[in-house]
């Protein structure tokens, strides 16, 4: 961007140096117009002479200069787009490098902290080793000095040993104080860790309680839904059994009606008249009838009287129809007698009076055909018609029952699918509960182990503190 602005400034200075404002506006009848080229806040002003009427007068040199400036401006504009993209790329690269730098700084800080902690521990170990070495050296020196003092004078030896013991006790006190501070810091850190673990345990226990409550609610909902589905299933089973029983009854009725139609010829009036004679002959030839034969005879009589009842009903219906038709014929004849103009007749005069003769053959043929069509039907036709009507009704009820059974089967399938989905959800919830219980057990085990370790460390620290206090008391 700096190169871009510097090039524009150079072009502007070059243009101003070649032609000043006085040379451009030397005529009084001319005025100046501004030509502006803008791109990203950079403005290039070209002062163009023009007349008062608005038409610009440009010489060849000025035109060439303007063309050069425009070409250079277009080039600079293209370069500006490229530079803009390059700047954006560089900015993205810079941001990525900054993020990498932050990550590296965080890693460096962690490593520095680890190094500091390791150095501190190393120093403590060095102090401990030095103290142990000093103690060993002091013990060796004590043994040597004891032997020498036994050889030398006792009084002088006793005074020297007391001075050496005082110096050694001061060094030990300083080391013990440092170790005590270190143990106190470790104890504080351990207590904070224990508190954090207890808080985490409380949080996990609360979550576990919430999950258990949710699971209990789901279980209760599932049990209620299962009970409801079972009730619906039982009701549907009862309905299905009822429909099956109705269907079986209908089929049995159809079979009995077929048997009745087959055995109808045996229950004619002749058969009824001859039946006592046949029974007398059979009684004379056979012995006392058994219970099964009596049942068969009773069933035959029942079917016979049922057919007789159906025949009577059909006969009554036919008689009612005939009466209605007779009433209709009487009305027709009465209307024809009342209106003689509408009837086709031929009158022949005689001495005794008037004779009226119907001369339309169409009415006679229609009446004869009507009489022939209104003949009373036979018993077989009546029975056949009644059984056909019953059979149609039974078929309709059968189809309705089949449709209801199909709908009940679809509902049962839907309920089974819902039950399977509920069982799958319950299994998934059980698996989640098992995983949560396992995690809780792991956390409890970790907590118990950490508590045991902390208790052991605290007991060791207390023992060390007691020993150090005893040593300090002895040294004092």
* pLDDT digit string, tens, across residues 99-132: 889 888 888 888 887 887 777 777 777 777 777 7
Q: Over the stretch 422-446, which tens digit does the pLDDT of each residue have?
A: 888 888 888 888 888 888 888 888 8
Considering the chain, what is the average pLDDT of its residues?
69
User: Structural domain boundaries of the chain?
Assistant: 2-114
Mean pLDDT along residues 404-416: 86
Mean pLDDT along residues 268-281: 44
Q: What percent of the chain has pLDDT over 90?
A: 0
Mean pLDDT along residues 148-170: 55
Mean pLDDT along residues 293-320: 74
Mean pLDDT along residues 256-263: 49
Q: Is pLDDT of 194 > 70?
A: yes
Out of 188-197, 305-314, 413-422, 463-472, give the one with best mean pLDDT: 413-422
Mean pLDDT along residues 402-414: 86
CA angle 72, 77, 83 (to 5 degrees): 125
- pLDDT at 31 (0 to 100): 39
- pLDDT at 314 (0 to 100): 72
Q: Over the stretch 19-48, which tens digit does the pLDDT of each residue have?
A: 444 444 444 343 333 444 433 333 344 444
- pLDDT at 411 (0 to 100): 85
Question: Worst-scoring range by mean pLDDT, 276-285, 320-329, 453-462?
Answer: 276-285
Question: Worst-scoring range by mean pLDDT, 48-62, 74-88, 129-143, 258-272?
Answer: 258-272
């Amino acid at each position: 961007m700096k190169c871009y602005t510097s090039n524009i400034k150079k072009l502007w200075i070059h243009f101003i140096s070649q032609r000043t404002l006085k040379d451009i506006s030397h005529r009084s009848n001319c005025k100046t117009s501004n030509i502006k080229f803008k791109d990203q806040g950079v403005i290039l002003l070209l002062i163009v002479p023009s007349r008062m009427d608005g038409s610009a007068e440009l010489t060849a040199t000025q035109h060439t200069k303007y063309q050069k400036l425009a070409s250079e401006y277009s080039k600079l504009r293209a370069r500006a787009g490229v530079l803009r993209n390059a700047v954006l790329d560089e900015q993205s690269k810079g941001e990525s490098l900054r993020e990498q730098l932050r990550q590296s700084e965080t890693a460096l800080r962690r490593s520095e902290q680890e190094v500091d902690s390791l150095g501190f521990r190393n120093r403590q170990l060095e102090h401990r080793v030095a103290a142990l070495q000093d103690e060993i050296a002091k013990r060796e020196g004590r043994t040597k000095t004891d032997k020498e003092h036994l050889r030398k004078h006792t009084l002088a030896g006793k005074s020297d040993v007391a001075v050496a013991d005082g110096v050694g006790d001061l060094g030990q006190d300083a080391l013990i104080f440092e170790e005590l501070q270190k143990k106190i810091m470790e104890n504080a850190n351990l207590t904070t860790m224990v508190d954090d673990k207890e808080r985490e345990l409380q949080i996990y226990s609360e979550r576990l309680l919430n999950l258990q409550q949710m699971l209990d609610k789901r279980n209760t909902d599932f049990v209620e839904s299962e009970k409801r589905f079972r009730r619906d299933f039982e009701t549907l089973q009862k309905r299905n059994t009822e429909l099956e029983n109705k269907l079986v009854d209908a089929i049995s009725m159809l079979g009995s009606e077929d048997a009745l139609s087959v055995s109808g010829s045996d229950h004619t009036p002749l058969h009824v008249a001859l039946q006592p004679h046949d029974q007398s002959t059979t009684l004379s030839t056979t012995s006392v009838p058994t219970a099964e034969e009596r049942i068969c005879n009773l069933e035959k009589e029942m079917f016979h009287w049922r057919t007789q009842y159906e025949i009577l009903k059909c006969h009554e219906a036919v008689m009612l129809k005939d009466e209605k038709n007779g009433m209709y014929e009487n009305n027709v004849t009465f209307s024809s007698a009342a209106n003689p103009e509408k009837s086709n007749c031929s009158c022949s005069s005689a001495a005794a009076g008037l004779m009226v003769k119907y001369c339309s053959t169409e009415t006679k043929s229609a009446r004869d055909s009507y009489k022939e069509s209104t003949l009373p039907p036979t018993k077989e036709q009546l029975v056949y018609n009644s059984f056909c009507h019953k059979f149609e009704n039974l078929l309709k009820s059968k189809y309705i029952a089949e449709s209801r059974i199909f709908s009940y089967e679809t509902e049962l399938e839907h309920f089974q699918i819902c039950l399977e989905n509920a069982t799958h959800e319950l299994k998934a919830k059980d698996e989640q509960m098992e995983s949560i219980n396992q995690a809780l057990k792991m956390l409890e085990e970790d907590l118990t182990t950490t508590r045991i370790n902390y208790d052991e460390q605290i007991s060791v620290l207390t023992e060390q503190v007691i020993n150090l206090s005893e040593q300090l008391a002895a040294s004092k």
